[in-house]
Amino acid sequence: MAEVTISLRHHPVRDERPCGVCGASFVAAEDSGSRMLGLKTGSQDFTFLLCGGCHSKWSHGHAVRIRSMPES
């Protein structure tokens, strides 16, 4: 059986990054609703930044397609 670990936490990002769902550019420090979503599959780790609006949609049941953040 395959295992996937998912974590969701508020994590301040120091530089401007696009939302992994809608692609909106924003300074995460100014967006108090931004969240980092981590997905670990054992062979690959992905980290996503969700703006407050996209996080709200996802947490209320909407399916979203997420793009991984570039390595920093």
Q: Would you say the pTM of this structure is higher than 0.75?
A: no
Each residue's pLDDT tens digit, 5-39: 777 777 666 677 788 889 887 665 666 666 778 88
Domain range list for the chain: 5-59
Per-residue pLDDT at 50: 82
Residue 51 has pLDDT above 60, yes or no: yes
CB of 16 closer than 8 Å to CB of 24 = no
